[in-house]
Structure 1
């Protein structure tokens, strides 16, 4: 029997401040608007999405992410091996039996969620472990997310051009792109496929067996995958935009290759959706977060949202939210600007400005309550020139807790509003909740601002200019 899922905990008390934060009265006054936005997301958006099988490109309504975890879990329960989740687990098991390294090619939402899952849920130095220590799961690398000559060349050099006869000497590719038209990923796929074919002695058919595309049913990548002869592929579902796709095959295929429990990941997300649907506004973590964020932006001009990750393993989970918030709400001269920091590291570079700079920030602390490893003590030493013996019995988690408490006290004393999000751990059920929490919150916040959170028309402008400069 699976263990019960421990829910996230949100504490907004650090943002309650009559002069510099929000007040209980303001939150109470906003509650009807939050409840209306909640209803719109659950009913009006869903109805409009259902009536448009494929949302218009210029005015998308990519509402499909909301019920995606429940749909995938239900299908798995009914069809098991024949379901999408069943096929993902089978394909991942087959590929990891054949290779020791897998390159994930994708950009933006097509890779950031998977990278966030790897950093949060896998051992910190996962790729450095032996195959046995990794449980037989392959090393994972990410490319196709930039046009960086040296990064690409360095990884190609590491992978090599010779495939051996054992899994330890072979590598494969997962390419993620709905259309195949995104330049960074398309170029990388061409280059890495050429290297893979060469490593297979020029045998395209053999190389194709080591490639898993995640894509739309139509488009350049679909055509290319068919031409290569790729036998297994998985869909980027219609009605699910890239930055909302972490809980689709986009994130699930890489997660399965890492050995993560994708069923539990989706169950965590499903629990958050249930909480959003059923919890009253005053106790609803999504609506509480949106309420404080919205009031800070509109009443206090706090247009910088600082996501303070109190664990190195969560940095990419913060960068994932940076994209989600920036592309969803950065429209019509509105929307907070996201910024991820990692503490205590960045307290030594940004704390001064955060503490005494402009009052244009809301600080969101993401705190891990239970660490992966046993607590490591400072330790007593006969060499006490560093003057640490007085805290020799203290552990790193205790030092971290003191840093969090001290920083929050300093911010509170100077009228700097904070929100604390407590993650029970960084396992897959917690991360599933985290992703779904922020995706739903972003859509609700867009409703309050009167912004369609789907689509990213501004991004298309640079792409068009880039094509012109390249003579395309």
Structure 2
């Protein structure tokens, strides 16, 4: 029996227990649909499967990269880089991240010439490995970036470039797969039945995370516990489904924006992963909540005024970890010229938690519906749990809207128009 580690609560009378429980039967039906469909749902049970051989291979190559390189350059866009970057930023130090042995740098997530120029100048005296991540190899941004990086690596390392370029792509098809086979690059497989924004717990995210010396086994263990706990079709006992239903009810009540808020700056990139997950999964057929994010307490002094007193178009999801290490305690000062001795002996994370509580109460009293998600610690295990939680909730949210969670026709539309213009 797994111990429930994520707590979901809500404030404000816009949501009642009865309103939520009214969805119990439809949730059971949609749960069965999710479990029986073959439409890119390989992520559902991926954490529960035996990946021992794959994890060993990833850990071996990660150790090699830490030994032989100063920099790992990850080439990717969207789901091919957001998840890994979210985990790295959340679980590595704020300062001197390269002092852990290696620096992870991202390219291919934009088409800025200035970015490419500065990157090439920055790495000129550094030992480099490249991990290019793309299921097809045909997406413009990472394809262009990889052309640049491939030429750079070949000019710098000659034949040894083959050993320093690692490809994560489809098992059988695509431009990148054909290129990797021809060039003899080492390869990891993106499973056919897992789409990009649901792929962070596969080699797409695991290799860059392992290179940063983060425990990928703990990450998967957390996701596995979530997969077990959240397999329950009973709405009252499944927090992912409960969260999905809360979002859906608020959407039907006229709220058009969900604001994900957290209280630790290291979670900013996790916000970006969350935005893609929900925005790309739900925003179809002129439906869906607009996913936006803030980081508190910084944004309480920026957009906090609008949240409290502005147009009633949004609700708030507060994400909080009870313990974040290492913490820092406020010391006693005999002078007390700043009048802060009443806080002496408390840690910053304790004060942050009280800030979260005060924010939730103030916003709820101001008429903003507030959903609260709370986990015990910010570490690999609990982050793995949270990643799976959001993926499961996202799939259910899209089904409640009666849209396909796993395609992205709007993204393909921009690609077509861009290619038309470039070919002109």
Structure 1 and Structure 2 fold alike (TM over 0.5): yes
Aligned partner of 1:403 among 333, 341, 355: 355
Mapping 1:203-352, distance limit 5 Å: 203=158, 205-217=159-171, 218-230=173-185, 232-278=186-232, 280-298=234-252, 300-352=253-305
- Unpaired runs of 5+ residues, structure 2, are none
SS in structure 2 at match of 1:382: coil
Q: 2-side partners of 1:426 and 1:207: how far apart?
A: 37
CA distance in 1, matches of 2:334, 2:71: 42
1:88 aligned onto 2:81: no
Q: What is the 5 A alignment of 1:356-375?
A: 356-375=309-328
CA distance in structure 1 between the aligned counterparts of 2:293 and 2:417, rounded to whole angstroms = 29
Partner of 2:418: 466
Correspondent of 2:44 among 66, 84, 91: 66
In structure 1, the partner of 2:104 is 140
Q: Does residue 414 of the first structure (1) align with residue 384 of the second (2)? A: no
**TM, length-normalised to structure 2:** 0.95
**How many Å separate the matches in 1 of 2:153 and 2:2?**
41
Report the more deviating stretch, 257-266 or 452-461.
Answer: 257-266
Which digits, 9 at most, give the CA deviation of each residue in 1:287-319, with x for residues without a partner?
110111110101x21120100011111111111
Give the gaps of 5 or more residues in structure 1: 50-60, 77-82, 163-168
Task: For residues 338-371 of structure 1, give each alpha carbon's deviation from its aligned partner in whole angstroms, at most 9, with x where no partner exists.
Answer: 0011100111111111111122212111101111
CA distance in 1, matches of 2:378, 2:209: 14
**Where does residue 446 of structure 1 map in the other structure?**
398
Report 1:96-135 matches (<5 A).
96-129=66-99, 134=100
2:136 to 171, 176, 179: 179
2:22 partner SS: helix
In 2, Cα distance between the equivalents of 1:424 and 1:435? 15
Superposed CA offset, 1:124-183 (max 9, x none):
224242xxxx2xx421111110011222211111100x5xxxxxx411111100111111
Match for residue 156 of structure 2 among 199, 204, 223: 199
Separation in 2 of the partners of 1:413 and 1:257? 45
Q: CA RMSD in A?
A: 1.8
* Contact 2:69-2:102 at 8 Å conserved across structures: yes
Q: Deviations over 1:413-446 (max 9, x none)?
A: 1221111111221211111111111111111111
The equivalent of 2:306 in structure 1 is 353
In the alignment, which residue of structure 2 is the partner of 1:8?
5
How far, CA to CA, are the matches of 1:153 and 1:398 in structure 2? 43
Alignment size in residue pairs: 423
Indicate conservation of the 8 Å contact 2:329/2:345, yes or no: no
SS of 2:15's partner is coil
How far 1:379 sits from its partner (Å)?
A: 4.7
TM, length-normalised to structure 1: 0.86
